[in-house]
Structure 1
């Protein structure tokens, strides 16, 4: 069993962003039932953010507070990772020691002591501040007991090694899925395997494309952040759905859902790259979707893994993962 900050983390984790960073916030009763179900199925690594809100940037932290206030018995069973280190108005990264300390203290304020902050990570690397300076400041706070461990987010292989030279890095969060295989080609997975740092894979289901939730632009709600992503533009989405169609066909042949196939493909990497641990964190807003995503995943055969890899190579994903001004901060 993989442990992060000393807390057992299941083969799959759970992303909380979708509850609050959307046009319509998920009601507490539904969100709580979904979070409870994730824990019951072993997804004990929860991923939140200081700025995951629409009406209020801290909406997600407030949701976490309300959940653990109502269900304190789950607090010690969950490893809570929170992204911060950004200006809450502009979301621009700020890696200065005083800024990351303010972000940690704000996170602790909204958690209100009902849940320990286990992992803190800067959502993006501040290009104006050396990573050693930022990580050094976070290490001081770990030593003070403010939180337990440090994670990295959207970083390149060289940055991972530089950060790990300062202190222990508990995890590296990146986007990884059948729709985004950059980390397999830019040395990030290799660096994490070498340093024995678990990879936390966000958007493992292609932001809904691999679940069948998005079959056309009409399926993207007004106000959704996806409206601003190049891969989901009127021009690119129909082309990118070709990969989804191929995955759906293969899932039907194997006898599983497309989401389960996509997650099994990610987990297969652990077998193929010694030293690598990957924890996908699919997000869901209903217990029913959690049941599907977190059901026991049938291991993927070598033949099916190779076939999926060939499909990925043959279908080029069109458009950037984010809007243009955010692209410069990827793989920092």
Structure 2
């Protein structure tokens, strides 16, 4: 069980980006069914963003509004984390006090009272604004009751310390998966353990790569944003697929899917090996995928060590995003 801001949120969360970052919008009927299934399965920490979705940059929050307006009984069951304070057109972080307030007010306007913001986090650190000023503005919003708590996203260990000194940080969101283990080497996991801050691990399935369902860059839809990611470029892809092949082999032996094994690897480390509490938030667009991701298949110590051996011995090439936003990672 992971506790965020004194709220138990289970062992798995739910990333709503899966509905709002695909080339085609998932129909509400399908999306709502998957969201209902997530609650049923205990994946009640939902993560979305003000800027998710095309062509309307607030499509992710609008989806939440439509869902909770139709199912008001579910609002109190879900712990909602929202990322914002980003220029949707340029993906530039906006961390000034005025920009932070503008972003929060915009999200509240769209939600229109159907659901409160339990955690608000700036999606990236604004290099032009000291983190103390950003957190100070967010702390005022907590006092005013606009948001419940403050989170951080894609931040360095130093930034976490500086932010936490201004106001307690409820959670840190960071990419963490079998092919993205940076937080174990750059001090982020260590400082979160020290300060007792849980990590919300987004993309535990490696942007879908670790599901085993993508065997070639051509398997991605033509307008899929992942086509621009460094790890999915053909030369890198042909090397990175080896990690997937090894994970698939172990999954076959265990009798589970590669996706279940990848998520279980994150869960298994929660509170162990010097790691903080970890909450994986896989995204999905169907009830079946939600059920698959939430199914706990368990790991033995031997299986965990075998996966660690795969991570340690298999080369992974390429950055985590496309070049334009790489400079804003671990700000």
Q: Shorter-chain TM-score: which interval?
A: over 0.9
Q: 1:145 to 1:325 in 2, by over 3 A?
A: same
Deviates more, 1:13-22 or 1:35-44: 13-22
Question: What aligned pairs does 1:108-147 form with structure 2 within 5 A after superposition?
Answer: 108-147=108-147
Aligned position for 1:266: 266
- 1:89 Cα deviation from its structure 2 partner: 2.4
- 1:36 Cα deviation from its structure 2 partner: 0.3
User: Runs in 1 of length 4+ with deviation above 4 angstroms?
Assistant: none
Aligned position for 2:300: 301
**What is the CA–CA distance in structure 2 between the aligned matches of 1:8 and 1:76, rounded to whole Å?**
13
1:152 aligns with 2:152: yes
1:264-322 superposed Cα distances (whole Å, 9 cap, x missing partner): 11112125235710000000000001111101331x12211111111111111111111
Which ranges of structure 1 fall in alignment gaps of 5 or more residues? none
Q: Is contact 2:259–2:293 with CA below 8 Å preserved after alignment? A: yes
Question: What aligned pairs does 1:87-98 form with structure 2 within 5 A after superposition?
Answer: 87-98=87-98
Aligned position for 1:81: 81
Aligned length: 331
Which ranges of structure 2 fall in alignment gaps of 5 or more residues? none
Aligned position for 1:68: 68
Aligned position for 2:323: 324
**What is the CA–CA distance in structure 1 between the aligned matches of 2:168 and 2:120, rounded to whole Å?**
13
Aligned position for 1:9: 9
Q: Is contact 2:2–2:278 with CA below 8 Å preserved after alignment? A: no
Q: Is contact 1:14–1:45 with CA below 8 Å preserved after alignment? A: yes
Aligned position for 1:289: 289
Q: 1:186 to 1:275 in 2, by over 3 A?
A: closer
1:117-169 superposed Cα distances (whole Å, 9 cap, x missing partner): 11100000001111111001100000000010010000011111111111110
Q: Secondary structure at the match of 1:207?
A: coil
Q: Is contact 1:8–1:44 with CA below 8 Å preserved after alignment? A: no
**What is the CA–CA distance in structure 2 between the aligned matches of 1:274 and 1:317, rounded to whole Å?**
24
C-alpha RMSD of matched pairs (Å): 1.1
**What is the CA–CA distance in structure 2 between the aligned matches of 1:127 and 1:105, rounded to whole Å?**
22
